[in-house]
Chain A
Amino acid sequence: MTLLSVEGLGIAFGGIKAVHDVSFRVEPGEIVSVIGPNGAGKTTLFNMISGVYQPGAGRVLLEGEDVTGMAPFRLAQRGMSRTFQNLQIFQNMTVLENAIAGFHLQERGTVLADLFNLPSSRRRARQAEAGARELLARVGLERAADREAASLSYGSLKRLEIARALAMRPRVLLLDEPAAGCNAVETEEIDHLIAEVAASGVAILLVEHDMKMVMRISNHIVVLDHGEKIAEGAPAEVSRNPAVIAAYLGTEEAADADG
């Protein structure tokens, strides 16, 4: 069954169409990448799918259920998680606490149990902590667990955000430029991590500027330009598509192409 399907999604800001009539699907275990020049509407598309923006047109279906414009926390409860291009880290917490926060849906219980430190509350917190430590090890941050999140490097924070998103055991994962600001080694690590997560049956939607990475790990690529889908297909097809080459290397956008 299709995990995520996007049908005719569109939104306009002040009369200008930021995204227009975009459709695609993501199957379990598949990595679908959205590419396009700067300002093509990739992040806007992400924000509509993840409930940050209310779409002006179209539908978002999660396992067949219409979840269009649903609040992010409700989407999270239905198994959708995401990371952010500009990082959304809990700067007031330690690295470990950030990862534990990802277990919120699994560790939450009654407020009274929490207020009086009842055994049930302690058990939930302990389980979440164990899970969080495991995830931190998986993204190579186990030694930084007790540091303030704010003190981490950009690349480490990117991995922390992925760990937090994975903590929810999502079935659909939206990654907005997970490798931005990372060096070659880190990028490769993230690469492996994404492939591994997909292999476990998670549907992954990816926005990424690192074309080598996109071509290497994507099963399917959707190309946006000026808010419209201009092409889609397997990496090899897309890279040969004249419309795509024009969008990236065309007369006006040439300067923006690798930005």
Chain B
Amino acid sequence: MPKLTVKSATLLVLAVLIAVTPFFFPSGYYYRVGALIFVNGLAVTGIVILTGYAGQISLGHAGFAGIGGYACALAPEYLGLHPALAMVLGAAVSAVLAYLVGRPILRLKGYYLAVATLGFGILVSMVLNNERDLTGGPDGIAVPELGLRGVLKDWGLNLSNGQFWYFFCGIVLLLGAWIALNLYQSPTGRALRALHGSEVASGTVGIDVARVKLQAFVISAVYASVAGSLVALQNKFITPDVAGFMHSIEMVTMAVLGGAGSVLGAVFGAGILTLLPQALTVLAEYEQLVLGLVMMLVMIFLREGLLPSILRRLRGRGE
């Protein structure tokens, strides 16, 4: 049997999961949960590139999700763009903004970088909350229909709304994972990981540290932006919460919980943190408490993240 590379193995596992899981859904509601996991997984894959590969921290990435989401609400209305093009525009705006914001910010390290990106996220969130005339303020704003489901229906593929978004987000996640895995083993990805390993040594081999940091920041911003667009288009509605501080924290937590270094780990973390609150609703007011406890235990006992730790155990037993 030919040896599977990490890349093809990851893509295979993801594709099989996306295709097979619906057979076990007790009700149509689970398509929605699945789509949410994929969207979160996509945003977290961006965090993997920034944090897992390049070793940089952002606590403001929800700001880019907000830009992606509101682009889908505003661009069709004010610019007459098709929602799909609005998503592309949102990604482009996020990329440009990430470049402009990242340039001064990425010279900072550790805590300072975290605080500066935090400030950026809060800024976006405040604009979305306060520019009522444009954004509808805290109440949110309607987002037009993507329309792709109708097209598929004309072609004879009749999907329910839940099914359509499940598979659409699944395919976008696969694409995002493919790109992230390409990057990992590419020259640019190697430079990012080098910078994570030693900034001093990176400089001596000619890596322009500031430049590659900025590249990682821009790429991960595009991931967050597309994820924000998908959430808005699926719900046909968006509120400033998508750009909120809690959402930024959620992204980083999912990445760290699942294992920030691997794409599959990111999706795993996104899955757990999306499902766990739903499973814990039986605990009513203790839900948050148990959630916090689980996270603490993972960080204390499985510091590399869930997936890498589990794989290591399995491998250890095999030998």
Query: Residues on A close to B: CB < 8 A?
Result: 50-52, 71-73, 76-77, 81-82, 84, 88-93, 97, 100-102, 104-105, 107-109, 111, 113-117, 121, 124-125, 128, 164-165, 167-168
Partner of A108, one of B182, B191, B200: B191
Partner of A82, one of B188, B202, B204, B207: B204
Nearest CB of chain A from residue B123's CB, rounded to whole Å: 27
Nearest CB of chain A from residue B159's CB, rounded to whole Å: 28
Given A76-B204, A165-B204, 13 extra CB contacts under 8 A = A76-B203, A84-B200, A84-B201, A88-B204, A91-B198, A97-B193, A101-B201, A104-B207, A114-B182, A114-B188, A114-B189, A116-B179, A117-B182
Partner of A88, one of B187, B200, B209: B200
Chain B interface, DSSP helix/strand/loop, else mixed: helix
List of B residues within 8 angstroms of A101 by Cβ: 190-191, 194, 201-202, 205, 207
Q: Is the CB of A167 within 8 A of B191?
A: no
Known: A73-B207, A100-B190, A164-B205. A93 touches B200 (CB 8 A): no
Q: Is the CB of A128 within 8 A of B204?
A: no
- Candidate in A105, A117, A125 with the most chain B CB atoms within 10 angstroms: A117
List of A residues within 8 angstroms of B219 by Cβ: 111, 115
Q: Is the CB of A114 within 8 A of B209?
A: no
* Distance between Cα atoms of A69 and B119 in the complex (Å): 33
Nearest CB of chain A from residue B209's CB, rounded to whole Å: 7
Number of interface residues of B (CB under 8 A): 27
Q: Is the CB of B200 within 8 A of A115?
A: no
List of B residues within 8 angstroms of A97 by Cβ: 190, 193
Q: Is the CB of A89 within 8 A of B197?
A: yes
Decide if B185 is an interface residue (CB 8 Å cutoff). yes
Q: Is the CB of A109 within 8 A of B197?
A: no
Q: Is the CB of B197 within 8 A of A90?
A: yes
List of B residues within 8 angstroms of A82 by Cβ: 204
Q: Of all chain B residues, which has the CB nearest A51? A: B203
Partner of A76, one of B183, B188, B206: B206
Between A and B, 19 residue pairs with Cβ closer than 8 Å are A52-B200, A76-B205, A88-B201, A91-B197, A93-B194, A101-B202, A101-B205, A104-B187, A104-B194, A108-B188, A108-B191, A111-B219, A113-B186, A114-B183, A114-B187, A115-B219, A121-B182, A125-B185, A168-B206
Known: A52-B200, A88-B201, A90-B201. A104 touches B193 (CB 8 A): no
* Distance between Cα atoms of A21 and B182 in the complex (Å): 50
* Distance between Cα atoms of A168 and B206 in the complex (Å): 8
Nearest CB of chain A from residue B185's CB, rounded to whole Å: 7
Q: Is the CB of A104 within 8 A of B186?
A: no
Nearest CB of chain A from residue B280's CB, rounded to whole Å: 34
Q: Of all chain B residues, which has the CB nearest A113? A: B186
List of B residues within 8 angstroms of A81 by Cβ: 204-205
Nearest CB of chain B from residue A53's CB, rounded to whole Å: 12
List of B residues within 8 angstroms of A114 by Cβ: 182-183, 186-189
Q: Is the CB of B197 within 8 A of A105?
A: no
Contact mask for chain B residues 107-139; partner A; CB cutoff 8 A; 1 contact, 0 none: 000000000000000000000000000000000
